[in-house]
Chain A
């Protein structure tokens, strides 16, 4: 849209001189006294600047902070994955944005404050044009010479696109899938494990689309541990068996729930399971006791879940009271089961004549939101938001909440004061 004219004979490159600047200021009827002393002449990039290698990346406050601190960022993405950008803590979706405006990237360009020896005049009165008009009006009064400096500023590159980032939830589903390929079920079964599918910590970190911090959370979420230098998860039955023996030690030794001894637990399981597995599970399932230093306590939620998972095998359903009784009986004394621990494992279905608990494992559902919605509504017709949350929260982003997702993919209705969601079609 803007046109450019250059006074030059094509062979020789034109360089701006102070005289040219003076002349153009006069032609433009600008009052030199109203201008700061510095003029910066802009030039198109040189042919020898390899500007194809330059990209603009839009930052948010967190990313800016990371860059200022000299932290490394990572782009991650496999063959068929959308690229993400990770800091140490967060994950971002990266998308190219095209614009019709031109963005001229100018290194070392001086902003107004840096070009004036005296402080800039503050509140600009009225609209932005007053100063111009005034300078037009009182021009050519007295020909007082104002010193003017000229600096040449090459533009590094003219951009018509930049990359936008949007924070997203870590995509560590792949981590779970990779770990599931080589579930550990005891040393005697290791011969069945495909050695080529065992991965080290850093191999997984490199391939999973999330930040390091989120990766550690993910490992914790999948209850993964390092065995023989490779990251592994346990076969449920095997994990349950070991945990059960470990829990048995509580009553055997008459420990209080928060006085579990680590060393004793480990030595009691010698010969039953490899020590690496026992210590790994112990550290995942326990937290240091608040009451007795040096002792530990099992996390009720984790114990309840593995026990429930053992009862509620995929495809099964139980009568409500029957399930809760079985579940409670399988827990160590002092721990109590709670429906909230079933989050993502099973659902309470009140639609039938008798309320029942049925298995519905989050990790076995489709990964595409449309397919998953279909699967969910096939399992059960009406859902409350709380019931759906564990199954669709993996699709949320900081600006896409569960309710927004439901508004888009489901239909809501109110029955007896309770809001339910049903299939759209």
Chain B
């Protein structure tokens, strides 16, 4: 069964991708949730500057040749599900009743498809058409004042 990808109200939000080389890691094994990553600035020329810890990264704003859609997986509501399940099981029993030479691999796939009838669906939350890419190596910030950053 096809899994529906709903697109209503998609692309309203102006979401962005920030692309960094490598991975963001914390030193110890502490929980990363809600942790501060860094500051993002733009200079007057529109160039993005990202400061993470005591590293500074110079980036570029780039239009994505192939934009990204952000899909969110969700389950459809219960009532619909029950209805579909009963329909599906009926179809399966009908298919399973098929016997003899007529029963081919094809029936099998169909029966499987009906069994695995998905109730999941996707919604396009937003479309990203631009990204900030930080390709260059981060440069260290050397503070000449002895004060913690």
Contacts and interface: CB of A to CB of B under 8 A. Distances in A.
Co-assembled chains A and B: yes
B39 A16 contact: yes
Nearest to B135: A101
A54 B73 CA distance: 7
Given A57-B69, A105-B70, A106-B16, A67 B127 contact: yes
Given A35-B41, A36-B42, A6 B98 contact: no
A129 interface: yes
Given A129-B58, A162-B68, A53 B43 contact: no
Interface size class of B (residues with CB under 8 A): 35 or more
Contacts of A107: 13, 15, 126
A60 interface: yes
Nearest to B30: A10
Interface in A361-395: none
B44 A7 contact: no
A291 B1 CA distance: 45
B112 A78 contact: yes
Contacts, number: 300
B79 interface: no
B34 A47 contact: yes
A104 to B, nearest CB: 4
A158 B106 CA distance: 41
Interface stretch (A19-27, A330-338, A407-415): A19-27
Interface stretch (A113-121, A248-256, A265-273, A416-424): A113-121
Nearest to A60: B66
A21 B39 CA distance: 8
Interface size class, chain A: 35 or more
A190 B82 CA distance: 34
A34 B44 contact: yes
B81 interface: no
A132 B58 contact: yes
Interface stretch (A38-46, A292-300, A302-310, A350-358): A38-46
A38 B42 CA distance: 8
A44 B37 contact: yes
A3 B53 contact: yes
Given A1-B21, A3-B53, A59-B127, A44 B34 contact: yes
Complex A-B, nearest 3 residue pairs according to Cβ-Cβ distance, in ascending order:
A1-B22, A112-B46, A109-B16
27 contacts: A3-B55, A4-B53, A7-B148, A13-B35, A14-B36, A34-B43, A42-B40, A56-B68, A58-B67, A60-B66, A64-B69, A78-B109, A101-B20, A105-B17, A108-B15, A109-B15, A111-B16, A111-B61, A113-B46, A116-B44, A116-B46, A120-B46, A121-B46, A128-B60, A132-B43, A177-B106, A178-B110
Interface of B: 1-11, 13-27, 30-49, 51-58, 60-61, 66-74, 94-95, 97-98, 102, 104, 106-107, 109-110, 112-113, 116, 122, 124-128, 130-132, 138, 141, 143, 145, 148-149
Interface of A: 1-7, 10, 13-16, 21, 23-25, 27-30, 34-36, 38-47, 53-60, 63-64, 66-76, 78-81, 85-86, 100-109, 111-113, 115-116, 120-121, 124, 128-129, 131-132, 135, 153-156, 158, 160, 162, 174, 177-178, 181, 194, 196-197, 206-207
Given A54-B125, A59-B68, 16 more contacts: A2-B25, A4-B35, A5-B53, A42-B36, A42-B38, A43-B34, A44-B24, A56-B128, A66-B7, A67-B127, A68-B10, A112-B46, A116-B42, A154-B34, A155-B18, A196-B94
